[in-house]
Structure 1
Amino acid sequence: MTLAKVFEELVGAGAPVELTAYDGSRAGLLDADLRVHVKSPYAMSYLVHSPGALGLARAYVSGHLDVHGDIYTLLHEMTQLMDSMTVQARLRLLAGVIDDPLLRAAVSRRLEPPPQEVRTGRTSWLRHTKRRDARAISHHYDVSNTFYEWVLGPSMAYTCACYPSEDATLEEAQFHKFDLVAKKLGLRPGMRLLDVGCGWGGMVMHAAKHYGVQALGVTLSKQQAEWAQKAIAEAGLTELAEVRHLDYRDVQEGDFDAVSSIGLTEHIGKANLPSYFGFLYGKLKPGGRLLNHCITRPDNTQPSMKKGGFINRYVFPDGELEGPGYLQSQMNDTGFEIRHQENLREHYARTLAEWCRNLDDHWQEAVAEVGEGTARVWRLYMAGCRLGFERNWIQLHQVLGVKLDGDGDARMPLRPDWGA
């Protein structure tokens, strides 16, 4: 049985995908816009030894499997087909492998994962030490500032944008996101802001430039800090804004009027959430506000982290996601009064669609800059995440908390004023 024949039996002859294989076989919809090419029998080795998404990712990242056409559309179509695949169909796939001597020889060899796959260790109690967190952050963020400029666009904002209208551009949506955070925090001239996990300094510069705030940002990525400090100087904001290459736990200053955490909580770890929120609470003046913006799970029925999953192995080592209710409970128990929360998951799906388009527009340059394997990791990761937000596998929540003063006063407006 040819490889293409096995594929056809699994997904049906009318699948909106064309599959070609190294053995010359072909199946699916001929001349389809979406094409999968199995370049080597070693692709099947990855699929057999690491079934599911991880095996497909390894085959694609390693270059043994090629995708032609929009990878998001392919994932969308193939996810539906794979969801309907029966156990009997999967057994037929294995039977097809066993019948082919070349495939049988290939799958008998267990291949090493592609070099882009990170191994941070299996000892869970060592997760989220300062040293290990620094390595995990460096793996993801110290890729190439040039690469990020191509993917993220001029804002260099690597977090969910917030689209003020259907026709808003990515840059307009990122500006609106930073402005929304600033308004929720009630920023005014002369205030002091701490931005933890500040990335390339987008929030820090926005607060300084548009609100006259003294803003300090900290990041574990050396490349981010260097880029941000240069951008701050070029914008003439050095009197108000600063970004340091520093673990947030090592910030010595206190009495901030506001704290923003945009995309950091995913890296903290469930066990460390009480100390994380406690640390941020301690950095605030009475009446100070925290805006926590992070990816969340729809509920708390699944584990915080899929240790063997593609995201954890290739993108966010040691990343952990919690449900919004759990995060709000941890904030509340720390002392914060929760004043507002909202889910922006549709906005993140749109943001990722723009990032995917940017990467495709700069594909050859990106491959030359970071290597094809790393570029493939990003292409797959962003398209998959877009699908995840659309299908409500993951969400994005902003939660606003306030540190009450000694009289129990939140110093908040009677009604939210950031939508005005």
Structure 2
Amino acid sequence: MTTIKIADAIADLLRDGMPVRFEAYDGSGTGPEDSPITLELVNQRGLAYLLTAPGDLGLARAYAAGDLVVHGAHPGDPYELARRLKGHTKFRKVSPGEIVALVRGLGFANLKPPPPPPQEHLPRWRRAMEGLRHSMGRDAEAISHHYDVSNAFYRHVLGPSMAYTCAVYPDADATLEEAQHEKFDLVARKLDLKPGQRLLDVGCGWGGMVIHAAKEYGVKALGVTLSQQQADWGKEAIDREGLGDVAEIRHLDYRDVFETGFDAISSIGLTEHIGVRNYPSYFGFLRDHLKPEGRLLNHSITRHHNRREETGAFIDRYVFPDGELIGSGTHIKEAQDAGLEVMHSENLRMHYAMTLRDWNRNLVDNWDACVDEVGIGTARVWGIYMASCRLGFEWNEIQLHQVLAVRTGDDGSDGFPLRPSW
């Protein structure tokens, strides 16, 4: 039986070649010898991960499990690794004869899938057995998987703002905290918040927008989130700020909010989780909860096109289970079809690339504390996830849109000035 060198086999399977140095536990190596980054496959389980889940998912499994070790890049910010691997992780089509030769050369045992790392969520077909996609129960489970990790971990990565959405950088030298403050303030200005008004913030996270609106604009703000840990943190933050009489956070699905007649609604980072097929009911619900001339600001990650496209396996299994993205044109269409008048749309794509850059830096700076809090596997997953997403924004594969709309009055009044005031 002919033995195949592992590095040669992997390099041959890759559709576009090996862009970094790759070395395997059998002593083989491939890829440019002068590469500043080396991937080291340290054991047989890692090989089985690569072969049984070709592409991003297999790489993620081996990396999270510690079977694929990166040299030359910090695991908290593997941006350079992600940049070099981009477009080089897919396997080419393999003929039946090549499969037979591969099995003979590498061993049949390497084609038996090992159990996935504990950080991995169930595949879509398994989740479907536990409830319809974007049902209240399944949404609650998906949100818990991503957000109920550890408030301390998020504090290390996100910084004092605890804002896990795209910041808005007033200039290139602004700090992450300055940019997150500007994001919340931009939302408030677009909503034209005034003292005494009522704001509903759906998908409120740790309460950043609720606190900003109540503290800086004097509104009475209600936030809702499906994450219990976020709600607990937000309630404590409200108490620390002494805002208990004007700000509230509930552990609640937005669909269960019973109050109506809000002057403004902010949705910052929720639309990604609700499912495209639910957009009509989502925008309809928000419209029905606004008073006439009440404004909606929808802040969401979008695609650069409006075609339906499933999220990749790595993001779906490790980061955002059941997450769905589509273009801003679909957001605008569905908002209009729900009876909202769309007044303005803004693309903040590069701001999100900068936000992810700064989150990666925070992860590096607090690496030991993050590992102590969530474990080395989860910390690695977060490093590669944020670095990869940064590339997606830089390459215009994904975008970030703020869409401003209003519930126009029966007489056509919208309450807007002739020119934007924000």
Q: TM-score, normalised by structure 2?
A: 0.91
Are 1:287 and 2:290 matched, yes or no? no
Indicate the percent of aligned positions where both proteins have the same amino acid: 57
Letter in 2 for 1:370: V
Letter in 2 for 1:168: A
Letter in 1 for 2:409: D
Query: Aligned to 2:329, which of 316, 325, 330?
Result: 325
Are 1:142 and 2:142 matched, yes or no? no
> 1:160 matched to which residue of 2?
166
Query: Aligned to 2:118, which of 112, 115, 119?
Result: 115
Q: What is the SS of the residue equivalent to 1:411?
A: coil
> 2:316 matched to which residue of 1?
312
Letter in 2 for 1:398: Q
Quote the Cα distance in structure 1 between the aligned partners of 2:62 and 2:343: 46
After TM superposition, the structure 1 stretch with the greater mean CA deviation from structure 2, 35-44 or 195-204, is 35-44
Quote the Cα distance in structure 1 between the aligned partners of 2:120 and 2:98: 26
Quote the Cα distance in structure 2 between the aligned partners of 1:135 and 1:312: 13
Larger relative contact order, structure 1 or 2 (CA cutoff 8 Å, min sep 6): 2
> 2:86 matched to which residue of 1?
79
Query: Aligned to 1:393, which of 394, 397, 405?
Result: 397
- CA shift, 1:97, in A, is 4.4
Q: TM-score, normalised by structure 1?
A: 0.92
Are 1:66 and 2:69 matched, yes or no? yes
Structure 2: gaps (5+ residues)? none
- CA shift, 1:267, in A, is 0.8
Quote the Cα distance in structure 2 between the aligned partners of 1:318 and 1:399: 23
Equivalent residues in 2 for 1:150-299, closer than 5 Å: 150-299=156-305
- CA shift, 1:87, in A, is 5.1
Contact kept? 1:281, 1:403, Cα under 8 Å? yes
Letter in 2 for 1:153: G
Are 1:341 and 2:348 matched, yes or no? no
Quote the Cα distance in structure 2 between the aligned partners of 1:145 and 1:248: 22
- CA shift, 1:46, in A, is 1.6
After TM superposition, the structure 1 stretch with the greater mean CA deviation from structure 2, 211-220 or 116-125, is 116-125
Quote the Cα distance in structure 1 between the aligned partners of 2:349 and 2:268: 14
Letter in 1 for 2:84: E
Quote the Cα distance in structure 1 between the aligned partners of 2:109 and 2:169: 48
Task: Give CA-to-partner distance per residue, 1:95-147, whole Å, 9 cap, x none.
Answer: 884464xx324413222222211125235971111111111111110000000
Contact kept? 1:6, 1:96, Cα under 8 Å? no
- CA shift, 1:30, in A, is 4.0
Are 1:26 and 2:21 matched, yes or no? no
Quote the Cα distance in structure 1 between the aligned partners of 2:335 and 2:404: 10
Contact kept? 1:213, 1:240, Cα under 8 Å? yes
Quote the Cα distance in structure 2 between the aligned partners of 1:244 and 1:235: 17
Task: Give CA-to-partner distance per residue, 1:62-109, whole Å, 9 cap, x none.
Answer: 2211123152111111224457x8658x99996884464xx3244132
Letter in 1 for 2:233: W
Contact kept? 1:44, 1:106, Cα under 8 Å? no
After TM superposition, the structure 1 stretch with the greater mean CA deviation from structure 2, 68-77 or 240-249, is 68-77
> 1:378 matched to which residue of 2?
382
Letter in 1 for 2:65: S
Contact kept? 1:189, 1:213, Cα under 8 Å? yes
Contact kept? 1:297, 1:321, Cα under 8 Å? yes
Contact kept? 2:19, 2:88, Cα under 8 Å? no
